[in-house]
């Protein structure tokens, strides 16, 4: 385990932004992490530490003047079961999609709608990742995390994590305080098929699936995603750049009078979630490109790097998009990607 100096982070972020980390090290056991944070002079300033998984939800706008800790904690283990569930623990550095495929193979149900999301398991509770009607909070049992300041391992239950839409306590109150080490997921023995997201039903029909299974749902999700989301190996991106805003029903009703086709999904009795991608498209940004920074031609919520865009260029483009959506719809978009 050697701390390297002046390392390009281009291979470590899916936007493919070429910035440098002053120091960089990968760790693959809790003992290594402990040793690093206890004995290494470059790790003494917690404000200068950054934990990196797959780098698929990050936009680097400048070099990182600190120590990047690349999480490579591995291991998948079924730790217990009861009548209804399998409890499966995964090291935070496990690749998310490979973990989902492992569970589907074993018939552990609950993750199928979350197929093909890039990144590692460690960030899954951080962001409360979600897709096609399912979020991590629905399958989450507990996690263990290293508290950087006190050097202690702390256990978190679902309530402790304060999950919200792409939110958790680790993004807010405990920002940069913990390193997530492992997560235990609660997976069903009897599947509960969630095909409520319209496109899944359509895709299953297209696939001519006669008997529903978690494998079929996973494949439907993979097909839908592959048809509209850019593959980071081909075009740099970090998925949805903005969150879908949640607005009061009264504001939605007003907008609907002017834009009858505006897509909205009830969150509760007071709030409606509206599709930011639709608003961005209405503002004329879909397929826009300036230099190597752009807006994906098939999904306007995804900003892309066609090759050598700087993080700042992508960030500036996101600012222009926020301004134009604000001026057309009176709604302020919030960035979903972590900007560094």
**Active centre residues (catalytic):** 166, 240, 336
Residue 22 vs 335, nearer CB to ligand EPU = 335
Residue 303 contacts residue 285 (beta carbons within 8 Å): no
Specify the 3-state DSSP secondary structure of 160: coil
294 is a site residue for ligand FAD (CB under 6 A): no
309 binds ligand FAD (CB under 6 A): no
φ and ψ of 328, to 5 deg: -85, -40
Nearer to ligand EPU by Cβ, of 134 and 148: the residue is 134
Which stretch, 51-59, 241-249, 281-289, 292-300, contacts ligand FAD (CB under 6 A)?
51-59
C-alpha distances out from residue 130 to 125, 136, 195, 254, Å: 10, 6, 14, 29
- Burial class, 193, CB count within 10 angstroms (exposed 0-12 / middle 13-18 / buried 19+): middle
If you search the block for the tokens 């200068």, which residue do you land on? 48
H helix intervals, the chain: 30-39, 96-105, 123-127, 198-206, 214-228, 249-258, 276-282, 311-329
96-105 and 214-228 are packed helices; what angle lies between their axes, rounded to 10 degrees? 150
Residue 47 CB, shortest distance to ligand EPU, in Å, is: 27
From the list 7, 9, 21, 58, which residue makes contact with ligand FAD (rule: CB under 6 A)? 58
Nearer to ligand FAD, 123 or 255 (CB): 123
Per CB under 6 A, residues contacting ligand EPU are 131-132, 239-240, 243-244, 263, 275, 277-278, 281, 286, 299-301, 336
What values do phi and psi take at 144, rounded to 5? -115, 135
Q: Quick check: 180 binds ligand FAD (CB under 6 A)? A: yes
| Nearest residue to ligand EPU, by Cβ distance, number only | 239
Q: Which phi and psi (to 5°) does residue 232 adopt?
A: -60, -20
Stretch that binds ligand FAD, among 48-56, 157-165, 242-250, 322-330 (CB under 6 A): 48-56
Nearer to ligand FAD, 255 or 337 (CB): 337
Binding mask of the shown chain, residues 109 to 148, with x at each position contacting ligand FAD by CB under 6 A: --------xxxx-xxx-xx-xxx-----------------
Dmax over Cα atoms in the chain, in whole Å? Answer: 63
What length does the chain have?
340
Does position 301 bind ligand FAD by CB under 6 A?
Answer: no
What is the spatial distance between Cα 201 and Cα 185, in angstroms, rounded to a whole number?
26
Measure the CA–CA gap between 91 and 76, rounded to whole angstroms: 7
Closer to ligand EPU by Cβ: residue 86 or 132: 132
Residues in contact with ligand FAD by CB under 6 A are: 14, 50-58, 71, 92, 117-120, 122-124, 126-127, 129-131, 178-180, 229, 232, 237-239, 338
């Amino acid at each position: 385990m050697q701390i390297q100096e002046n390392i390009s982070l281009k291979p470590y972020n899916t936007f493919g932004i070429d910035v440098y980390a002053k120091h960089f090290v990968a760790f693959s056991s809790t003992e290594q992490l402990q040793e690093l944070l206890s004995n290494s002079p470059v790790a003494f300033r917690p404000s200068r530490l950054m934990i990196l998984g797959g780098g698929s939800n990050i936009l680097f706008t400048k070099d990182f003047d600190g120590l990047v800790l690349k999480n490579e904690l591995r291991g998948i283990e079924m730790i217990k079961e009861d009548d209804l569930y399998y409890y499966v623990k995964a090291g935070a550095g496990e690749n998310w999609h490979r973990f989902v495929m492992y569970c589907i193979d074993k018939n552990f149900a609950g993750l199928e709608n979350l197929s093909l999301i890039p990144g590692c398991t460690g960030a899954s509770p951080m962001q409360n990742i979600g897709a096609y009607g399912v979020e991590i909070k629905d399958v989450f049992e507990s996690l263990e995390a290293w508290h950087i300041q006190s050097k202690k391992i702390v256990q978190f239950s679902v309530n402790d994590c304060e999950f919200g839409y792409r939110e958790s306590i680790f993004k807010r109150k405990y920002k940069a305080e913990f390193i997530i080490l492992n997560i235990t997921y609660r997976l069903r023995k009897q599947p509960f098929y969630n095909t409520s997201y319209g496109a899944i039903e359509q895709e299953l029909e297209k696939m001519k699936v006669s008997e529903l299974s978690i494998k079929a749902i996973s494949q439907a999700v993979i097909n839908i995603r592959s048809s509209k989301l850019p593959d980071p190996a081909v075009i740099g991106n970090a998925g949805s750049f903005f969150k879908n805003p949640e607005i009061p029903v009264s504001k939605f009703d007003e907008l609907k009078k002017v834009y009858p086709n505006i897509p909205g999904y009830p969150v509760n009795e007071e709030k409606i979630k509206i599709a930011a991608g639709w608003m961005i498209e209405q503002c004329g940004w879909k397929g826009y490109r300036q230099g190597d920074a752009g807006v994906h031609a098939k999904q306007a919520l995804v900003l892309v790097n066609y090759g050598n865009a700087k993080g700042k260029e992508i960030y500036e483009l996101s600012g222009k998009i926020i301004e134009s959506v604000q001026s057309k719809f009176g709604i302020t978009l919030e960035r979903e990607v972590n900007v560094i």
